[in-house]
Amino acid sequence: MVRYTPKLPEKNVNVTPRSHIRELFVLLSGLIAIVVVVYFLLGLVVDQLVPYVPPSFEKKIGSVYLRQIEGIDKKDPRQPVLQAMVDDMTEKCVDLPYDVEVIVVNDQLVNAFALPGGKIVVFDGLLKAVESENELAFILGHELGHFVNKDHLRGLGRALVGLSISLTLLGTDSHLNDMLGSSLNLNRLRFSQQQEGKADIVGINSLQCRYGHVKGATDFFEGLEASSSFRQLRHYFATHPAESKRIDDIEEYRIKQGFEKKALQQLPSVFGTPDSTSTE
């Protein structure tokens, strides 16, 4: 007969004595490391595949984004001027397998971007801020450079890779997916410093090709001090190390290539006079 002697267990074998916080950090950093590696590798795959994306497919992607843009002004008198400049540049200076269309958007953003499928979106705010045709031509040439390098497709491809990873890991119902999904929004798509630099080179080359000199190339970043309404922004551009490096790189390239600086071309009258008496 077994005699029952009641006693409490000395230690609890069913619960592992382990710091849960530490476990969380170990697992989380492992996961992040894997995600970063996969994202990087798939990014390289995207870079390899991008040259094979046909222009027709690119156009399809572009039209999806185009529908989301509000305030497109088809009757803007500056549009035909911009279009003529771009047509001229794509004909003589920049080699692209498709025609590029310029779209003017009535918005005070000082920005322009390249949509997949050969659309350059230019905001009214930018058109008001530029002071010479050369400066404008550089910005348009820069955007054409993004088309040449297919940067928008690379950016989209990477954003898609990021979203796919997060969907796989977290399922469809997750805050992180909303965050990554919004990175597919072209307004928020950021190109790398290297991509911007390459596009700048295309921009400066098309300036040289169109005007025979490259004065005005860096005006967008540095030369707009006269007008005060965009001072905050310009201050940002001028002091931001990445932007001042871009100016230096453009200048270095100019000297290396022996491009000259001559007189600036006035903007056509439809652009109005540059706003230099703002009180803001």
Partner 1 sequence: MMEAIGPLLNLIIFLLLVSVGYFAGTLAEKRHYQSIQKREAAWLRIPAVSARFDEKLPQASGGEMVYGSAVISIDYFKRILAGLRIIFGGRVTAYESLIDRARREAILRMKENAGPNTDIILNVRIETSSIGNSANGGSVGSIEALAYGTAIRTSQNG
**Binding residues for partner 1, per CB under 8 A?**
4, 6-8, 12, 14-16, 18, 20-21, 23-24, 27-28, 30-31, 169, 171, 173, 175, 178-179, 182, 185, 187-188
- Alpha carbons 224 and 221: distance in angstroms, whole number: 7
The minimum distance between CB 192 and partner 1, in angstroms, equals 19
Query: Alpha helices, DSSP H only, in the chain?
Result: 20-49, 55-68, 78-92, 124-129, 133-149, 151-170, 175-182, 193-211, 219-222, 231-239, 241-257
Token readout for 163 is 């979203």
The minimum distance between CB 106 and partner 1, in angstroms, equals 19
- Alpha carbons 38 and 162: distance in angstroms, whole number: 9
The minimum distance between CB 181 and partner 1, in angstroms, equals 9
Considering just the CA atoms, what is the radius of gyration of the chain in Å?
26
Query: Helix, strand, or coil here: 184?
Result: coil
Ramachandran angles phi, psi of 104, nearest 5°: -95, 130
Q: Tokens 């970063």 map to which residue?
A: 36
* Residue 130: alpha-carbon gap to chain centroid: 20
Which position among 101, 131, 135, 143 bears the catalytic label?
143
Give whichever of 28 and 270 is closer to partner 1, judged by the CB atom: 28
Give whichever of 19 and 48 is closer to partner 1, judged by the CB atom: 19
Query: Helix, strand, or coil here: 104?
Result: strand
What single-letter DSSP state applies at residue 230?
Answer: T
Token readout for 233 is 């922004």
Give whichever of 51 and 171 is closer to partner 1, judged by the CB atom: 171
Give whichever of 20 and 75 is closer to partner 1, judged by the CB atom: 20
* CA end-to-end span of the chain: 98
The minimum distance between CB 15 and partner 1, in angstroms, equals 5
The minimum distance between CB 104 and partner 1, in angstroms, equals 23
Give whichever of 27 and 64 is closer to partner 1, judged by the CB atom: 27
Between β-strands 119-123 and 112-115, what pairing exists: parallel, antiparallel or unpaired?
antiparallel
Active site residue 143: yes
Q: Which residues are catalytic?
A: 143
